[in-house]
Structure 1
């Protein structure tokens, strides 16, 4: 009789075609892998793999067995996952909010992965308005969100930080700052900042300071509530706005330049959810987001002065 663990070892070896990698992947010893394969070959009465000092490959019998087992094995794994999710209360509808195009992409990828793991859970995704970062989470319109930090609200839990990006300054393409390799916080005294209405004051202070580190006042430009309006106001020479360096890739425009700061703290994006809404489904999705995000994902470099639009 072949045990489920032996089937798992066979399928992993059929994919890896390497005893050492298979053992590492399954957290067993290479001897355990070899024993399982030999046991299955004795039961079947035929070799499943051809082994040489240089390579491992499936025999014709092994290929047929792999093809026949894969479907059934996936069904077994899905049944176990579904039962486990039901036992932990994972199901229903999960509503997820985000800000920033890169956060939206990550949430969509995580949702696809989550649906595969928990097919009885429906994921709904929505972009959070710039002027009202916490209204949806308080009203129940979303169950958790991936948005800019800081979040300092007594009724909202701060989860893990997902992105920590270099801060950049969005300026008009023709502005003198656009020709620099980098800017510093003192440069903010030379151009007004586009102001956003709606977020709490501590959030605004973190992203749109009123004074430079040396105490020089930072003037204010027009007030708006939407990110695309911010970009249009910057592009038409009404001011500047600090943002993530990722904006250079996701919100590129010929009339804008994104110049990295050399002395500003990073822009962080983190998960948060209501203090009364920490369900098994929320926690499972948080772990899926962390498993999905590519920690080595390249943050686009700031273009040099010659490459920036004029």
Structure 2
């Protein structure tokens, strides 16, 4: 295999026309340059210079190799710069997993900051629920993920993960305008006869609603399901049910009101998780960008953790 150090020396000898001049340009001795050229000649199997007492003349092979070699060395220099940039976090790739409501409210701010600070970095997004993205983080397919956990549906975290709390969301009961239960805060037991709109069966959001109602002595009659909170609120606005919606998924829309549950605060928590052993240099910048994004979206129902 050709030695790129010897190739660089050959290119410089052809450029300067002298072992001594090439040595001065490269910071070597003339003897070291001569030895490197000889080693290169042995590697390619051809004499590259006609040597006289006080001069050298490059052979056609030397001219060809120097021309093509200069292109290869320029590419290698660029590659080395890219590697250095990756190590410093200036280049490289970050794979971020996120759930839909964070995708809409938090991630755009974070990505905007990260791309402004690291314009050459590639950011890949993968949207799914926490149960789907956590295995990808553990497997190394994702560098970082946003996930959530409800007070009433707590999570445990694998030892391999670092978990950074980002946001605490209030859970809001969404009711049609004029609903008799729509006071400053809602007594859940007043909704025992209502139809409910919930997320897909088996999701943490659905489980949370069921456990909340069970704590108040009834099982909710869930008649519509959607994992899209825009759809959920649309169904509430149409008067076909009530819903429990986390603050990131809630939008103040005409025809609906969102109220806190009376009593002990009911919350969902948002975390950033990554493998503790992940050495991606972009990871630290991404976490900083996510924290800044959470500062931007914080309001009366969204508190920084």
TM-score with structure 2 setting the length = 0.55
2:186 maps to: 183
The C-alpha deviation readout for 1:184-207, integer Å capped at 9, x for no partner, is 33334242322322654x553234
Structure 2 distance, partners of 1:269, 1:232, is: 25
1:269 maps to: 270
Cα 1:206–1:282 shift into 2, 3 Å: farther
Within 5 Å, give how 1:1-310 maps onto structure 2. 86-87=86-87, 91-99=91-99, 104-125=104-125, 128=127, 132-136=129-133, 138=135, 143-150=143-150, 151-152=155-156, 154=158, 157=161, 159-178=163-182, 180-197=183-200, 199-200=202-203, 204-209=206-211, 211-245=213-247, 251-263=251-263, 264-273=265-274, 279-294=280-295, 297-299=298-300
Structure 1 distance, partners of 2:185, 2:279, is: 41
Uncovered stretches (5+) of structure 1, i.e. residues with no partner: 1-81, 302-310
Cα 1:235–1:155 shift into 2, 3 Å: farther
Question: Counterpart of 2:230 in 1: which secondary structure?
Answer: helix
Question: Counterpart of 2:186 in 1: which secondary structure?
Answer: coil
Cα 1:278–1:267 shift into 2, 3 Å: farther
Cα 1:102–1:223 shift into 2, 3 Å: closer
Cα 1:240–1:275 shift into 2, 3 Å: farther
Structure 1 distance, partners of 2:279, 2:260, is: 37
Cα 1:152–1:86 shift into 2, 3 Å: same
Structure 2 distance, partners of 1:98, 1:160, is: 14
2:27 maps to: none
Structure 1 distance, partners of 2:93, 2:247, is: 33
- State the shift of 1:245 in Å: 4.2
2:78 maps to: none
Question: Counterpart of 1:197 in 2: which secondary structure?
Answer: coil
* Residue correspondences, number: 213
CA RMSD of aligned residues (A): 3.7
Structure 2 distance, partners of 1:141, 1:236, is: 41
Cα 1:295–1:108 shift into 2, 3 Å: closer
**Paired residues of 1:192 and 1:221 also in contact (CA < 8 A):** yes
Structure 2 distance, partners of 1:158, 1:233, is: 38
TM-score with structure 1 setting the length = 0.54
**Paired residues of 1:210 and 1:219 also in contact (CA < 8 A):** no
Q: Which 4+ runs in 1 deviate beyond 6 A?
A: none
Cα 1:245–1:288 shift into 2, 3 Å: closer
2:67 maps to: none
Structure 2 distance, partners of 1:246, 1:101, is: 6
- State the shift of 1:229 in Å: 2.2
Question: Counterpart of 1:260 in 2: which secondary structure?
Answer: strand
**Paired residues of 1:137 and 1:144 also in contact (CA < 8 A):** no
